[in-house]
Structure 1
Amino acid sequence: MFKLTFSFPRAACAAALAALAVLPAHADEVLVAVAANFAGPLQKISEGFTAVTGHTVKASAGATGKFYTQIVAGGAPFEVLIAADDETPKKLVAEGHAVSSSNFTYAIGQLVLWSATPGLVDDQGAVLAAGRFTKLAIANPKIAPYGAAGVETIKARGLTDAIAPKLVTADSIAQAYQFVASGNAELGFVALSQVAVPGKPVTGSLWKVPQSLYGEIRQDAVLLKAGEKSAAAKALLDYLKSAPAKAVIAAYGYKE
């Protein structure tokens, strides 16, 4: 878990200040479960959120499916879920674990095939069929939407049988990224936001997977029942819809 309490320049927050009005009488901490692919953007967004509202964010990053299990089991203290899909927030609302009508799409994710080795992945993804690798990392498709998208891509290319023996399944997309970054897998399916970090050069090589090869990754946020009476939790969801937050989201390669 990580706690985010950053400062932010006043000029960059002007629009958000106008939209969110005055600071609250007292500041609180928001407990957030965030999809691993969005951990980096949330850290940056939290800087502006804290400057505008005074509230801070304490977040735990992981696989959306695992968070769902924890929330339903009642053992998770989270007030907000920032998911990697839109189905999980809808299920939580339907099952009474999240506040009705609070869910909304904050970003549309982009899947990439990435390698830490320059030149290994071409801009058409032909490396998948060429077979010049022994291991391909992928997040568990049963609990991670980006993992499911990776499986769809392999199937769309007609390579399921050929690639199946080479798949290395990770618990989350963050772990899939680590498998590739560490060299334990030559390439893997990850989120564009993990490899295209604003202000930093892209390392290795990648292929932006065409949307036609996998289902749209609509990522929703939702207010959980534990945060129903929390002004800070509601303020965070409002801030995710603000212009400064949307600018960060776009900078990390997400679509609206």
Structure 2
Amino acid sequence: MFLRSRLLQRLLLAVALPIAALTSAHAESLTVAVAANFKKPAGEIGAAFKAKTGVEVKYAFGATGQFAAQIRNGAPFDILLAADDTTAPGLAKDGFAVASSNFVYARGTLILYSTTLPVKEQGEQILRQGDFAHLSIANPKTAPYGAAAIEAMKKMGVYDAVKPRIVEGSNIGQTFDFVATGNAQLGFVALSQGIGAGKGQWWVVPQADYTPIDQSAILLKPGADKPAAKAYLDFLRTSPEAHAVIAKYGYSIPQ
């Protein structure tokens, strides 16, 4: 009887340990710094990841350059989803991230967006004619889409003419808001924002007019020992669910 009781206790313990470990993993949460252009896709990917793993993903959205400065000053983010492919390797080189975890998760597309002007058919023409009061772009020093906008305008030969009418958003999210609220008649934003808005129209800027916007992800040092952080990056990089969301918002995935 005693032996049977001890055996039963061992069996119960063997079953309980994995359950406890699973509960602990599910209780883990992640903090992810995300470039503002990827706000809606990130939200959907985070929800899909939680449904599959039970892990809560907390996002902060902003400009890639601003996040880089915060990370260098000790911000406790676990993961960075940047809007370029240079910030993450730079953080790894300086000891703030895990170099081997870096990969490009999406390639973005620049658009000229408006809720009032016929930019879909006349985007470049409207820029050349200058029949608008304000054009919004993201701060080119901290936001890759802002830098791409200036590059494209210079390629088109309109930058000097429209420069006095440019209003800068601190990130691509604020840039979009300037157009959505009517404070700017048009603006250079990400295709994902136009798709996510469900209103307005846009002109897709020719890819030849700006350097490809490859957006890379990386595991930061605060998340280096978190299994959930590595699982999230694997989910983003390989899962059909994440890839479907990325494509839904107009991004491509470089091979």
TM-score after normalising by structure 2: 0.87
Q: Does 1:147 align with 2:162?
A: no
Could you give the per-residue CA deviations for residues 153-185 of structure 1, whole angstroms, max 9, x where no partner exists?
110011121011010011000000000000000
**Rounded Cα–Cα distance in structure 2 between residues aligned with 1:24 and 1:189:** 45
- Does residue 1:136 correspond to 2:132, yes or no? no
What's the counterpart of residue 243 of structure 1? 240
Shift of residue 145 of structure 1?
Answer: 0.3
SS at 1:125's partner residue? helix
Structure 1: distance between partners of 2:101 and 2:125: 42
- Percent identity among equivalent residues? 50
Structure 2 counterpart of 1:51, which letter? Answer: A
Instruction: Name 1:8's counterpart in structure 2.
Output: none
Secondary structure of residue in 2 paired with 1:248: helix
Matches for 1:1-256 after TM superposition, within 5 Å: 24-26=22-24, 27=26, 28-74=28-74, 76-117=75-116, 119-122=118-121, 124-197=123-196, 201=198, 203-241=199-237, 242-256=239-253
Report the secondary structure of 2:101's partner residue: coil
Aligned equivalents of 1:123 and 1:86: distance in 2?
31
CA RMSD of aligned residues (A): 1.4
Gaps of 5+ in 2: 1-20
Classify the secondary structure of the residue corresponding to 1:253.
Answer: coil
Which of the pair has more CA radius of gyration? Answer: 2
* Contact 1:109–1:219 (8 Å) recurs in 2: yes
* Structure 1 spans left out of the alignment, 5+ residues: 1-22
Equivalent residues of 1:31, 1:57 under 8 A apart:
yes
Question: How far, CA to CA, are the matches of 2:194 and 2:22 in structure 1?
Answer: 36
> SS state of the match for residue 169, structure 1?
strand
Whole-angstrom CA distance in 1 between matches of 2:83 and 2:217: 9
Q: Secondary structure at the match of 2:173?
A: helix
4+ residue segments displaced more than 3 Å: none
Quote the Cα distance in structure 2 between the aligned partners of 1:229 and 1:69. 22
CA–CA distance in structure 2, aligned partners of residues 136 and 124 of structure 1: 12
Q: Using the alignment, how far apart are the partners of 1:120 and 1:159 within structure 2?
A: 15
Kept after mapping to 2: 8 A contact 1:108/1:255: yes
CA distance, structure 2, for counterparts of residue 87 and residue 124 of structure 1: 30
The alpha carbon displacement at 1:122 in A equals 2.6
Relative to total residues, which structure has the larger helix share, 1 or 2?
Answer: 2
Of 90-99 and 120-129, the range deviating more from structure 2? 120-129
1:39 deviates by: 1.1
Question: Displacement of 1:46 after TM fit?
Answer: 1.1
